[in-house]
Amino acid sequence: MAEFVRLEVTDGVGTLRLDRPKMNALDAQVQTELLEAAREADRRDDVAAVVVWGGERVFAAGADVKEMAEMGFPEMFRHAHLLQDFTRAVAAIGKPTVSAITGFALGGGLELALATDLRFCADNAKLGQPEIALGIIPGAGGTQRLARLIGPAKAKDLIYTGRFVAADEALTLGLVDEVLPADAVYERAVQWASQFVGGPAIALRTAKDVIDRGLEVDLQTGLEIERAGFTGLFATQDQADGMRSFVENGPGKATFTGK
């Protein structure tokens, strides 16, 4: 039984719930539990979409600095794999994902949020990559995902300065997708995730895979990835059911089985 991270499933929506008082610091144990919970959410058929949430007060204030301060190069050489593996596991969930950000999302906390498809943010939240103040750089994907999301110049500004970004600026930068009152963030994230319950699960997984893989290659290679994903869906029952329903009953009335 995990101590600080649990997967809670309600009506087809899985919540990856961080609960390590008082600031959800991401030590090695939390990282491992996040990795395992993300993999569970990916493989469970009763989970259609995933919300990552740290609770009403804080999303995650970053990696556990006290733990890292005692590490030298040999220890960090080993630990750095886990540091990236937990965000890779969240990014690899083959279902729609969204972070519900309240309070602080700093350092590893922001890197966790960057690993989801969308980010919904409380109007009083603070986001940032302050690692530079510790004499280091982001190590759980921040340098790569942040630059891909908001562009290299804006990412360099945030990483070079380590400054905190308020919700309104985060929205302007494209760092978050919606800003809401703090008490509405989680509910809105669940509402967004709920629309995929009963949806064409294989097509959704394929869409996510094609988009993410396409971002890593040139346009022509990306188009080939898209073509392979598109044609592959014609081997699914959902494609047959979806098109038959469209022809017979019009759009938006198909029932999908995820097969």
- pLDDT one-digit tens code per residue, 84-110: 999 999 999 999 999 999 999 999 999
Cα Rg for the chain, rounded, in angstroms? 19
Residue 236: pLDDT over 90: yes
Residue 36: pLDDT over 80: yes
The rounded percent of the chain whose pLDDT value lies above 70 is 100
pLDDT recorded at residue 1: 77
What burial class does residue 233 get, using C-beta atoms within 10 Å of its C-beta: 0-12 exposed, 13-18 middle, 19+ buried? Answer: middle
201-249: CATH topology is: Lyase 2-enoyl-coa Hydratase; Chain  A, domain 2 (1.10.12)
Delimit the domains of the chain by residue range.
5-194, 201-249
Asked whether 257 and 241 are in contact (CB, 8 A), the reply is: yes
Look-up of token digits 């259609």: 48
Q: Mark out the alpha helices in 44-151 (DSSP H runs).
A: 65-69, 73-91, 108-114, 142-150
Domains 5-194 and 201-249 share a fold: no
Going by C-alpha positions, the residue among 233, 234, 231, 213 that lies closest to residue 222 is 213
Which element (helix H / strand E) includes 55?
none
Q: Sign (positive/negative) of CA torsion 135, 140, 144, 149?
A: negative
DSSP tally for the chain: helices H, then strands E: 11, 9
DSSP assignment of 111-135, as one string? HHHHTSSEEEEETT-EEE-GGGGGT
Which residues touch 114 (CB under 8 Å, ≥6 apart)?
87, 141, 142, 145, 146, 149
Structure confidence at residue 131 as a pLDDT band (50, 70, 90): very high
| Per annotation, catalytic residue among 131, 169, 178, 187 | 131
Q: Sign (positive/negative) of CA torsion 123, 129, 132, 134?
A: positive
Residue 7: pLDDT over 90: yes
Going by C-alpha positions, the residue among 14, 139, 9, 125 that lies closest to residue 71 is 139
Q: How far is CA 174 from the centre of its chain?
A: 15
User: Is-catalytic flag, 111?
Assistant: yes
N-to-C CA span, the chain: 31
User: Is-catalytic flag, 131?
Assistant: yes
| Per annotation, catalytic residue among 3, 36, 111, 187 | 111
Task: Assign domain 5-194 to a CATH class.
Answer: alpha beta
Structure confidence at residue 253 as a pLDDT band (50, 70, 90): confident
Amino acid at 45: D
